Structure 1
Amino acid sequence: MFSKLNRSIVYRIGLLMFAISMLAVLSMTSSVFISDSAEQDAYAVNVSGSIRMQSYRLLNTIQQNDAQTARRELAELERRLSSNTLTSGTQDHTSELSLAYQSVQHHWNHELKPLFEVAISKPIPNTEIRQAVDRFVQKLEVLVSQYQRHAERNIARIRLIQGLALLAMALLMIIAMFILNHYIKHPLAQLTHIARQIGRGDFTGRASDSGKDELSLLGHTLNHMSEAISRSHSTMEQRVKAKTADLERSNAALEMLYDITRELHSASDNPPNFKHLLNKLVAVTSVKDVDLCLMTVAGNKPYEHIPSRDKVMPLRCIQQSCDDCLNQTPQTPDSVSFPLVHAGENYGVLVCEMMPGQTLQSWQEQLFRSVSEQIAVSLSLRSQQEQQRRLVLMHERNVIARELHDSLAQGLSYLKIQVARLQKILSQPDGINKVEPVIDELKLGLNSAYRELRELLTTFRLKMDGQDLQSAMQQSLGQLQSRTDNMQLILHFNAGNIPFSPNEEIHLLQITREACQNAIHHSQGSRVHVSITAQGEDDKQVQLCVRDNGVGISDPQGKLNHYGLAIMMERARSLGGQLNISQPADGGTEISFTFRPACFSQTQELERHIV
């Protein structure tokens, strides 16, 4: 038991609580028993009082000569005098209460009762009976006073028991408070303080663990946990620092790689500043030097050698002996080469020179490879762009030649025929009279050729300037509107959701411009309505319609070369459509054609291939 008291705070507190509970139970039990006795004393006092009253009533009944009632009251009086209420507290024959009761009982049995019995049978002097009753009442008063003293003693006994129990419980409470304060409060406060220190990241606090109770065991465990957490935290901080350094290095490498990629793949026509990029690469990788040798695809010697810093060039670089670097067999162990290869084409080499004893880590090697690949991709893209420019230039020249052949060359051929005809007529005797029609034809042909030349120049100078088709249409029609006051040009565009190719945009713009110019110059109308709308299933076809309210065109097939209709038809055929020229019933001329944009044609081909 004592060992449990020494090892367990819970056992101590439980034992104290049990002792306090037992004191309370004993105090309440004794109070209940003593209060029951006091209650009997009070009842006995009441019965004694009723006996006193009953004796006077019996005296009065005898004086009234009511024998039957007197006998009944006499029996009732004797029953009350012998009741358990009066006899329960008189078991101790030596007590004052017992002696007082015996005196009352003796007086009743030997004096008053015989006197009452005689008085009921025959009349006797009232004075004698009254005196006997008075003496009996006096003895009853003595008995009542003894019952009162007995009740007072019980109450005093209850007070004593309650006081002793309260004193004992107060003592036990003091002991419990001492145990709570010494063995629970202070250790628990210390444990709470250490827990808050741990919560703030301070693992230096230590709890007292010299005892054998539960809190001492908890303090020992908390100390052990704090030491373990401190070691783990220290290890974790070192790992976090290492990871942070790796992340910072990776972030710097990614940022540098992003800057290099952005500068290499910028839309500028100027070559990138490779030396600036090499300086960034040296700063991030902390190597000694980086050299970049650029070569053509077909060459075996660099056309440009770019070092990251000014230095004395090695002999192999001066002699342009690049085999070792290209074959990744450097002459010194402190350099590593990374070829600039993309799609099987070699564009040079990136050579990294390191400090003495320095070796490339995996992330450095990966970064050098990524940079070399980006440079190779950039050089490849620039080469492809140059090739694309050459192809575009050749295509533009072919377009110009075709336009000149289809328009101006045919007009000049027609003029050449008319000149030959004029010469033939002038050689005749009466040729002067026939010259006038030929000259009119020559004038008309020259005017037509001059107009077509101006239109071709306007066509060749036409630019989209990064606008969409609708904006370019509005701008072109605005230019034509500014040249005439008698014609109103109206645009209805309902194909904004279709991604036209640049070739389609140019052809649509040129056909619209040519048709509007014809309407302005020849229709003699007041309004031209231009509409570009999406039609067909799922809006995958586009219709261009240019309609005026003029006099109309009488013979479209006979005037193909006069109004540029042949060129417009050629443009329509290049988009996969057929140009239609018609005269509506309400007058005017309508030029329209329908085609399927290339984006939908490619999608249809892809779907057909999948199926």
Structure 2
Amino acid sequence: MKTPWTLARKLLAIGAAVLVLALASIGLTLWVSWQLEGGAAAVNEAGRMRMQTWQLAASLHDTSPEQVQAQFDRFQASLDLLGRGDPSRPLFVPWNDAVHAAFADVLQQWQQLHARWAQGTLPAPAQVRADADAFVRSVDLFVGSIELQLARFTSILHLYQLAMLGLAIAVAVALFYTGHLFVLEPLARLQRGLERVEQADFDARVEVQSRDEFGRLGEGFNRMAQTLQSLYRGLEDKVREKTAKLELQRGRLQALYDVSALLARSDTLEGMAQHFAKQVRRIAGADAAAIRWSDEANQRYLLLAGEGLPAALSEGEHCVPTGECLCGQSAADARTRVIPIVMADQTLGHCAREGFKTLVSVPVRLHHRLLGEVDLFFRGSVTLSDEERSLLDALASHLAGGMEGLRAAALEREGAVAEERSFIARELHDSIAQSLAFLKIQVQLLRAARQRGDEAVVERTLGELDTGVRECMGDVRELLVHFRTRTNAEHIEPALRTTLQKFEHQTGLKSHLELEGHALPLDPDAQVQVLHVVQEALSNVRKHARASQVWVEVAADSAGWRFEVRDDGQGFDPDADRAETHVGLRIMRERAARIGAQVRVDAVPGAGSCVTLTVPPSAAASAVSTAPAAGTPPAAQAPSAAA
């Protein structure tokens, strides 16, 4: 198979031919110039021979034989130099037949002249001059033959220069022509083709006239034009197809959005299921839809809602045990299925009797837990594409999320109720329970005083009981109004003093309050919790410590607040099982946790106990503009933040 000439090979061949011609011309020019330079040096050396001849003739009779012999040697050296040449100068004779004959004549006459002039008897001066003149004429003939040869070389050099000029012109013309033939013309054809394509003329084709790079480029252009032509012709169909797909995707997204909005508005499971059944029936184009809920053990399916279901089907399949009907899938095998309804299939008897021919079952899953099933009924044959399956699965997943949201909301409400009950229990423990415990003690004291007949103690105790009952009634009224301890718009110091005065009045124990440092006032909610913790600690001292004195120390700085309640009582073992104390301690820690504080209890049997409450700076009043100026003592700080 013949290899096509590529553009690179063509350009390489042309360049190689031009290079060979240029190198040959340059080589011939250099050779001729070399010959001319060597011949000129030979002419100069031959001219020296004439001068040496006359010098030798003039000094033959007047100089010593040694000097004459030296001149003979120099002349012989010149002849030898002309005969062999000297490339280093350069010097060489441009030999041809005439030059060889002239040089041979010069050698012959020199030998004769040397024989006559070197003999013992020298010729007469006139004879010497005649011999020298004859020899110089032969040298002149030799020089003339060399000059004639150099003239021929000069003519050849001129001819080469003219040839190089013609060659340069021919090469330039050849390069222009080949450039036009192999490069410019193919590029022009491609340019014309591109202009036609730019004008939407996709029928444009480029004529391929060679198999080189431009030929392959033209073939590629033709293939591109053909592809563009086919794409352009089918563009409208593809646009319509893409538009239909986008419209389908928009419809699916709209369906998902509508279902999500519907589920978000539903507040009951039944209502959510009924609305979802309507939507999914419309989206799937089904004749009927049913939403079934599965119990935790996946033993049965309960019909939550139906849309378009016949009454007989709703009543007959209100509760379907798992596995007895094809629409009640087990958790292990649950998947989206298309089930043909056959009259002979007893498991789908209700569906067949109502005229349905196809059932689509979609499981409702949440984190691998089966919550229920969506059943779609069709009166004709149905097949689902991958997109339709994905849409139904997404809708079922949204339904599962909505059901889980309702369950989470119910759990949240239940937790809120439990938290509220716990809060009421703490309030009862910290207010009414303590008051009732005090009244119980006073009743015991009243009974003992009556048995002793001590009327003064009886009267004083009755007064204490009357005061305690009024305080208990006040606590009850306060709980009924807002379940909070009264702060009376006070700062923490007056609130603590009021609490300790009440404690001293109820127990008769001596109390001490010490305050140190400065900090922002506590937030009202934090102050309430702090007072409750302090009251609980004092209540434990009253009930269990058997102390004689109580110290309440308050320290405030940039790190927050620290409250310590110490007593000199009998102390206790923190590891011992004291149910009532543990309940109080748990309540104190719960209250502290509400404001981000911490409670620590230190106790040594026989050496008293200490309850420490550490409140972080975040529990201070959030409104900085209401905070007192730096350096103001706690007792004098503005109470507006605690109000």
Normalising to structure 2: TM-score of the pair?
0.56
Q: Pairwise mapping of residues 231-270 of structure 1 onto structure 2 (< 5 A)?
A: none
| Contiguous gaps of at least 5 residues in structure 1 | 308-313, 426-430, 465-474, 494-504, 534-543, 558-564, 595-611
Mapped to 2, the partners of 1:42 and 1:103 lie a distance apart of 21
CA displacement at 1:84 relative to structure 2: 1.6
Contact 1:406 1:567 in 2 (8 A): no
2:60 counterpart SS class? helix
Show CA shifts across 1:4-32 (max 9, x none).
6x634343333323322332343344334
Number of corresponding residues: 513
Mapped to 2, the partners of 1:444 and 1:167 lie a distance apart of 142
Q: 2:533 — aligned with what?
A: 511
Q: 2:16 — aligned with what?
A: 18
Show CA shifts across 1:78-111 (max 9, x none).
6745752699555424xxx56765776787678x
Q: 1:377 — aligned with what?
A: 404
Show CA shifts across 1:25-73 (max 9, x none).
4334433443443243123212211211111111221241645544563
Q: 1:175 — aligned with what?
A: 174
Q: Pairwise mapping of residues 412-423 of structure 1 onto structure 2 (< 5 A)?
A: 412=439
1:547 counterpart SS class? strand
Judged with a 3 Å threshold, the aligned counterparts in structure 2 of structure 1 residues 163 and 250 are, in CA distance, closer, same or farther, namely farther
Contact 1:52 1:137 in 2 (8 A): yes
CA displacement at 1:355 relative to structure 2: 12
1:483 counterpart SS class? helix
Q: 2:509 — aligned with what?
A: none
The letter of the residue matching 2:9 is Y
CA displacement at 1:163 relative to structure 2: 3.7
Q: 1:367 — aligned with what?
A: 394
Identify which of 39, 47, 50 aligns with 1:49.
Answer: 47
Mapped to 2, the partners of 1:182 and 1:98 lie a distance apart of 55
Judged with a 3 Å threshold, the aligned counterparts in structure 2 of structure 1 residues 245 and 492 are, in CA distance, closer, same or farther, namely farther
Mapped to 1, the partners of 2:275 and 2:67 lie a distance apart of 139
Q: 1:472 — aligned with what?
A: none
Mapped to 2, the partners of 1:207 and 1:215 lie a distance apart of 11
Show CA shifts across 1:358-412 (max 9, x none).
9872133213322332333234344445555665666667777777885444555
The letter of the residue matching 1:59 is A
Normalising to structure 1: TM-score of the pair?
0.58
CA displacement at 1:489 relative to structure 2: 5.4
Judged with a 3 Å threshold, the aligned counterparts in structure 2 of structure 1 residues 168 and 326 are, in CA distance, closer, same or farther, namely farther
Contact 1:546 1:590 in 2 (8 A): no
Using the TM superposition, name which of 369-378 and 76-85 deviates more.
76-85
The question of 1:592 aligning with 2:617 is answered no
Mapped to 2, the partners of 1:74 and 1:578 lie a distance apart of 137
Mapped to 1, the partners of 2:484 and 2:196 lie a distance apart of 74
Q: 2:210 — aligned with what?
A: 211
2:210 counterpart SS class? coil
Mapped to 2, the partners of 1:283 and 1:299 lie a distance apart of 20
Higher helix share: 1
Q: 2:619 — aligned with what?
A: none
CA displacement at 1:442 relative to structure 2: 1.1
The letter of the residue matching 1:435 is E
Q: Pairwise mapping of residues 402-441 of structure 1 onto structure 2 (< 5 A)?
A: 406-412=433-439, 434-441=454-461
CA displacement at 1:175 relative to structure 2: 2.5
The question of 1:444 aligning with 2:464 is answered yes
2:392 counterpart SS class? helix
Mapped to 2, the partners of 1:407 and 1:373 lie a distance apart of 49
Mapped to 2, the partners of 1:65 and 1:423 lie a distance apart of 185
1:58 counterpart SS class? helix
2:457 counterpart SS class? helix
Show CA shifts across 1:154-208 (max 9, x none).
133134224424533552454244334432455468779999999xxx9998655
Identify which of 585, 591, 611 aligns with 1:572.
Answer: 585
Q: 2:324 — aligned with what?
A: none
Judged with a 3 Å threshold, the aligned counterparts in structure 2 of structure 1 residues 139 and 463 are, in CA distance, closer, same or farther, namely farther
CA displacement at 1:438 relative to structure 2: 0.3
Show CA shifts across 1:412-468 (max 9, x none).
55666777789989xxxxx7xx5332010111233344445556776885679xxxx
Mapped to 2, the partners of 1:259 and 1:223 lie a distance apart of 55
1:42 counterpart SS class? helix
Identify which of 495, 500, 514 aligns with 1:483.
Answer: 495
The letter of the residue matching 1:178 is Y
Mapped to 1, the partners of 2:247 and 2:271 lie a distance apart of 29
The question of 1:547 aligning with 2:565 is answered yes
Mapped to 2, the partners of 1:184 and 1:445 lie a distance apart of 122
Show CA shifts across 1:537-557 (max 9, x none).
xxxxxxx97335xxx667899
CA displacement at 1:147 relative to structure 2: 2.6
Contact 1:292 1:350 in 2 (8 A): yes
